Chains A and B, each alone.
Chain A
Amino acid sequence: MPNYSRNFDKPRSNPDAHLASGFLPARILHLHPTRRCNLTCSHCYSASSPHQDSGVNPTLWAQVLPLLRREGYDQVSLSGGEPLLYEGLENLVSSAVDEGFRLTLISNGILLNKTTSQMNKLLKKLDGIAISFDGLAHRHDAIRGRSGVFQHACDAIMVLLDLGLPVAAAISVTHDGIEELPDLVYYLVSLGVTAVQIRPVAAAGRAALTPHSLITSNGDQLRLYLVVKALAVELASRVSVHGDLVPAGALWNQREAYRSLLAHSPMTGSPMPTLLSDLVNPLVITDTASMKPVAFDMHSDFDLGVLDQLSSPSFMHDYRNVGAVKLKELVHQALQSMALISGVVDWYDYLARSSHNSFV
């Protein structure tokens, strides 16, 4: 799971702050190697389904992951689609482990109910696994369009715990799902998850086309923020609870986390960041091998290109002179707006929405 838990509880005197690139605690490659999935969730931001193509050519990873490691990325976060359906998963995991990436994966848990020794071996190479949830049984199964999948997800937690692997829960919260969130979190903690990540459903992908009962309003997000804060305190002795929503003012106050990007100036060349991860974090790689900054649903005008282009000597030069400048302007404007907004924001979703608005 992408660890989007920004460490806003630590002040800027954090000695590691100079290593930050944006609001993330690591430099993350968020990979969607396939959008093939055994479910068709009504809120899926990547519009994944069983009918999608197989995804990125598995042989590519051994070529591109070393290049991206040299660009400063240190964590690979695998999602999809259902990443366990990706035919090149072994290649991908092996290449990532060889390059020293920290490796996490988010799954709906269905395939984890019948693990083989080969899959167990692969799972043990991961540094973290998160099982995704959308609510208690009735809501979860309804959103995912198949009965019984809540139970499969819970069973998957038990399977992983039996293997001795730490398991997190990644919860997407809809407008209608806020009320049952505490019951869900307490139940998952009773099963043994070690961390809980909570995010509001974004109006992206399939969710943008579905009823408003899925999308959280600004008011819902305030409520969700307070609920997550309360859960974090109530469960502090047992698990870590993180939410993706952050007060806009806190983002504004910590804007210097983007100083590499904001200082980027191809005209003067100084101060010139040397790494792609100084400018783009997270870097999203889609099932069509496209590289996108920030989020899967960023406007395509912000795309960096495709993986094949990474090895080209001119790639970084071209991106610094055109793409990074465009991204800098977007982030700059979004940060400025944080000073004016009261309330809470899902920062990465805000950037993604802004990327589309800038072309309206």
Chain B
Amino acid sequence: MPAVNPPAADVSKQLSKRLASHKLSQTVIDSLAKRVLIDDLVMHKFSPCIYGICIDYFSDKIPDLSKLSGRGVSRFEVFPYGIIDWDRFHVKVGFQVDELENQLARNAQLF
């Protein structure tokens, strides 16, 4: 049986597709990863937003916000879970991502 690709869903506008494309250089990927992988903060959600990319992190200790400096952070919010979960912090960070700006601005309208 010949190898036939299935009909692809229209995922061309999705962030996953854009990140997977080798049209986005490895330098951009390295730079992005360097900014969004932060010690002590466990990445939970990762999605396009009006700032570029917004990421929801969790942490089990009071977040060290100095670690966010120099990473192109446009906005952050910290939610202590308090009595619900005494040692859990939810940190929402908006990263400015110039490299993806044009693509993400279009995507943001979809979310």
Interface of A is mostly: helix
Closest A residue to B48 by beta carbon equals A230
Q: Which of B11-55 contact A (CB under 8 A)?
A: 11, 14-17, 19-22, 26, 29-30, 32-34, 36-40, 42-47
- Residues of B contacting A151 in the complex (Cβ-Cβ under 8 angstroms): 1, 4
A226 touches B34 (CB 8 A): no
Closest B residue to A178 by beta carbon equals B20
B11 touches A247 (CB 8 A): no
- Tell whether B6 is near chain A: CB-to-CB under 8 Å: yes
Given contacts A12-B87, A138-B3, contact A229 B21 (CB under 8 A): no
Q: How far is the CA of A231 from the CA of B18 in the complex (A)?
A: 11
A249 touches B44 (CB 8 A): no
B19 touches A11 (CB 8 A): no
Q: How far is the CA of A344 from the CA of B38 in the complex (A)?
A: 11
Chain A 144-156, CB within 8 Å of chain B: the 1/0 string? 0001101100100
> Which listed segment binds B: A22-30, A49-57, A182-190?
A182-190
- Residues of A contacting B4 in the complex (Cβ-Cβ under 8 angstroms): 137, 151
Given contacts A8-B42, A9-B44, A229-B43, contact A219 B16 (CB under 8 A): no
A150 touches B8 (CB 8 A): no
Contact residue among A13, A141, A234, A343 (Cβ-Cβ distance under 8 Å from B37): A343
- Tell whether B60 is near chain A: CB-to-CB under 8 Å: yes
Q: How far is the CA of A12 from the CA of B32 in the complex (A)?
A: 27
- Residues of B contacting A148 in the complex (Cβ-Cβ under 8 angstroms): 1-3
Binding site for B on A (CB under 8 A): 8-13, 136-138, 140-142, 147-148, 150-151, 154, 178-183, 185-187, 190, 219, 222-223, 225-227, 229-234, 247, 249-250, 253, 342-344
List 18 additional contacts besides A13-B87, A147-B1; criterion CB under 8 Å: A9-B44, A151-B1, A178-B20, A179-B21, A180-B20, A182-B11, A182-B17, A183-B9, A186-B11, A187-B9, A222-B29, A226-B32, A226-B33, A226-B46, A229-B46, A230-B14, A234-B15, A253-B42
14 A-B contacts (beta carbon < 8 Å): A12-B87, A151-B4, A178-B20, A182-B11, A183-B8, A222-B29, A226-B29, A226-B32, A231-B16, A233-B15, A234-B47, A247-B42, A249-B39, A253-B42
